[in-house]
Amino acid sequence: MKVQNHAPTLILTLVALSALAIAASCLIGVTPLPMGRLMAALVGLGDPQAELIVWDIRLPRALAAFVVGMALAGCGAALQGLLRNPLAEPGVLGVSAMASLFATFTIYWGFVQLSPWMLPLASIAGALLATGLLALIAPRVQSVVTLVLVGVGISSLAGAFMSLLINLAPNPFTLSDMMNWMMGSVANRSLEDLFLAAPFFVVGAMAIGLAAPGLRALTLGEEAASAVGLDVGRSRIWVVLGTGLLTGAAVSVAGAVGFVGIIAPHLVRPLVGHDPARTLIPAALLGGLILVVADLIARLAPTGQELKLGVVAALIGAPIFIWIAVRRRMLEADQ
Amino acid sequence: MSLKLHEASVSVHGAKLLHAVSFEVTTGKLVGLLGPNGAGKTTAVRALLGLQPLSGGQAFLDGQTAHSLTPKQRALRVSYLPQARKLAWPIAVREAVSLGRFAYGGPMGRLGPADAAAVDDALARCSLNGFECRSVTSLSGGELARVHLARALASQAPALIADEPTAALDPGHSFDVLATLQAQAREGQAVLVVVHDLALAARFCDQIILLNQGKLVIHAPPREALTPAILANVYGVKATWDQDQLILSGRI
């Protein structure tokens, strides 16, 4: 079996496809406007109505989907490298659930009114708590299956608290706000929402970038990675910090969107020679592309009420998750 | 270069795994670390590297206290091949061997021409030419063992410690591995190898360090260390020397 690395071509292709998908998201929608007016608005020469639709409604939404997808898929690739398991992902490990639980708390008690920073900070705190907990447990349990189970436990716990909050929700308005975080959606996002989360995305991406060479060395296992000169503890800290910031920021923008962190790295890996460090950037780009397309499907699907992005992502992602898990089991049985 | 344990003791959860063990491995020697299962071989190796906290005594790598070194400083002094051999991803053979140069990489892990040359050299020493682009999961056990050994050689550190590099290998591949390690020692590396095959150790090693129940039994050349009396006592096996060959003939 030959191992091949097409990372540069892959990155260029994904950038081009993502740009196309975002442009398409700006042009396609339920408001019937002639293509010419929309095109003009996109390049800044349109009438006010078309510009409003393109720049204030569709573009922020497409960009939000793209950035959230990038963040979640990048975290997925990083966690998979750190834990040496293709099933690790912020959603599966309960990181997103914990982040949205913390976000829901701030909505429930009205803290969101205090400052626009409340929501991102609370989400990041929740994500860091879950990731930190996992990183503390990981070296002790050895088995990644156990770790995934711990993640499922964290996820269920956060889910239970979430149900409790919904159960006790004071009014329907709070309730629908909270449902938004649970299901995951990028509807009605403004460019301001994105700017607010931007610093966290940038710092988180830098932390993951610092961990990248270490993820490659971790292919050997922790003892051998340390033997070739890797400070394993430091790699763990970078990934925890990066995942906490990125997932927290993503949840603050879109709520909990699952599975994109598994699918994107899984599809990209064979094309970059399975190197966990080289997987990061293409996986992030593909994650962004997937969510932009998923959001387009959510918007255009002929349903009475608009579908939530998280629902579409889970409908596509969960079966793929099961398929990867079963195939991996079979491959291991072969060896 | 010298690897040295001085009166090193290790206790884990109240169990004493190593009792005041002292030995030194120096440049140019192939030293075999032997002992029955549970004798403390891996513990001694990890103590020597500063990976296992000591309850008494000290470990020195090239005169420096092993526990005070960062992973990178340690990797530049001694190349270590642990027992765990599982690779998490089906990366290419060349990439796996290149990981042996990790400590020399830049902040983003970038390797230079000197690193590429070291990797080429290690691939050649382990007869892996032509395997560079193969996936590590598509290799046989013997080929994979060679990949791990090549990774350890690629670092070109002044010392090398290999923990059971011949585990699960057939006699032919075991011979190749020991011959490669012997060649490394002849070129001036200090080499410590954990082996289970007594005859193989007797045939290749310059010196034998024999451990039993966490204690040092003897540190001497093979003829003096692996005597019938000592082997009967430590392993409970009948052994005889026929000229330069050690022959095991059964259980006592």
pLDDT digits (tens, 9 = 90+) for A222-276: 889 999 999 988 888 899 889 989 999 999 888 888 889 999 999 999 999 999 9
Structural domains in chain B, CATH included, are: 2-85+157-251 (3.40.50.300)
| Residue given tokens 């001085």 in the structure block | B6
Residue B214 pLDDT = 92
Structural domains in chain A, CATH included, are: 7-334 (1.10.3470.10)
- Give how far A72 is from chain B: nearest CA, Å: 21
Residue A334 pLDDT = 42
Distances (CA, A) of A272 to A69, A127, A205, A281: 20, 29, 20, 10
DSSP element (H, E) containing A258: none
**B82 contacts chain A (CB < 8 A):** yes
| Residue given tokens 């964290």 in the structure block | A154
Q: Which of B111, B132, B122, B116 is nearest to A277 (CA)?
A: B111
- Give how far B119 is from chain A: nearest CA, Å: 14
Give the pLDDT confidence of B178-203 residue by residue, as tens digits.
999 999 999 999 999 999 999 999 99
Task: Name every residue whose Cβ is closer than 8 Å to that of residue A246 and which is 6 or more positions away in sequence.
Answer: A71, A72, A74, A75, A200, A201, A204, A205, A208
Reported as a pLDDT band with limits 50, 70 and 90, residue A333 is very low
Q: What is the ipTM of this complex?
A: 0.90
User: Does position A33 have pLDDT exceeding 80, yes or no?
Assistant: no
Reported as a pLDDT band with limits 50, 70 and 90, residue A15 is very high
Cα of first residue to Cα of last residue in chain A, in angstroms, is 15
Cβ-Cβ contacts under 8 Å, A207 against chain B: none
Higher pLDDT, B56 or A182: B56
Q: Which two tokens stand for residue B215?
A: 């204690």
Q: Which two tokens stand for residue A193?
A: 């929402």
Sign of CA dihedral B12, B16, B22, B26: negative
User: Does position A175 have pLDDT exceeding 80, yes or no?
Assistant: no
**Residue of B72, B99, B135 with shortest CB distance to A3:** B135
Cβ-Cβ contacts under 8 Å, B109 against chain A: 212-213, 216, 277
Distances (CA, A) of B85 to A83, A117, A166, B20: 16, 47, 49, 30
Q: Which of A67, A64, A90, A68 is nearest to A77 (CA)?
A: A90
**Residue A117 dihedral angles phi and psi, to the nearest 5°:** -80, -15
Percent with pLDDT over 70 in chain B? 100
Gyration radius from chain A CA atoms: 20
User: Does position B40 have pLDDT exceeding 50, yes or no?
Assistant: yes
Q: Which of A250, A277, A200 is nearest to A68 (CA)?
A: A250
Residue A331 pLDDT = 54
User: Does position A335 have pLDDT exceeding 60, yes or no?
Assistant: no
Chain B CA closest to residue A222: B84
Beta-carbon pairs below 8 A across chains A and B: 104
**B96 contacts chain A (CB < 8 A):** yes
Residue A332 pLDDT = 55
User: Each residue of B166-186: b (16+ CB within 10 Å) or e?
Assistant: beebeeebbbbbbebbbebbe
Chain B CA closest to residue A334: B137
Task: Report the alpha-carbon distance of residue A332 to residue A143 in Å, rounded.
Answer: 14
Reported as a pLDDT band with limits 50, 70 and 90, residue B147 is very high
Greatest mean pLDDT among A5-9, A71-75, A294-298 lies in A71-75
Residue A329 pLDDT = 61
DSSP element (H, E) containing B167: none
Give the pLDDT confidence of A140-165 residue by residue, as tens digits.
776 667 777 888 899 899 989 988 88
Cα of first residue to Cα of last residue in chain B, in angstroms, is 40
Residue of A1, A2, A3, A274 to mutate when probing chain B, most B C-beta within 10 A: A3
Pairing type for strands B215-220 and B207-212 reads antiparallel
Q: Which two tokens stand for residue A5?
A: 């690395």
The SS3 call for residue B36 is: coil
Averaged pLDDT, A296-320? 84
User: In this structure, which amino acid lies at residue A214?
Assistant: G
Name the pTM for this structure.
Answer: 0.90
Tell me the sheet residues that pair with A186: none
Cβ contact, residue pair B102, A335, below 8 Å? no
Chain B CA closest to residue A223: B82
The SS3 call for residue A305 is: coil
Residue A186 pLDDT = 83
Cβ contact, residue pair A217, B99, below 8 Å? yes
User: Does position A330 have pLDDT exceeding 70, yes or no?
Assistant: no
**Residue of A226, A229, A275 with shortest CB distance to B95:** A275
Strand order in the sheet with B56-61: B15-26, B2-12, B56-61, B64-65
Pairing type for strands B2-12 and B56-61 reads antiparallel
Mean pLDDT of chain B, nearest integer? 92
Of A9-18, A133-142, B87-96, B138-147, which range is least confident?
Answer: A133-142
Averaged pLDDT, A163-171? 80
Mean pLDDT of chain A, nearest integer? 86
Task: Report the alpha-carbon distance of residue A94 to residue A83 in Å, rounded.
Answer: 15
The SS3 call for residue B63 is: coil
Other beta carbons within 10 Å of A29: 17
| Residue given tokens 């290790």 in the structure block | B10
User: In this structure, which amino acid lies at residue A61?
Assistant: R
Give the pLDDT confidence of B71-123 residue by residue, as tens digits.
999 999 999 999 878 898 999 999 999 999 999 987 777 888 999 999 999 99
Reported as a pLDDT band with limits 50, 70 and 90, residue A36 is confident
Distances (CA, A) of A289 to A209, A263, B251: 20, 12, 67
User: Each residue of B36-71: b (16+ CB within 10 Å) or e?
Assistant: beebbbbbbbbbbbbbbebeebebbbbeeebbebeb
Task: Report the alpha-carbon distance of residue A149 to residue A153 in Å, rounded.
Answer: 6
Give the pLDDT confidence of A56-113 residue by residue, as tens digits.
888 999 999 999 999 999 999 999 999 888 888 888 888 988 998 998 888 878 787 7
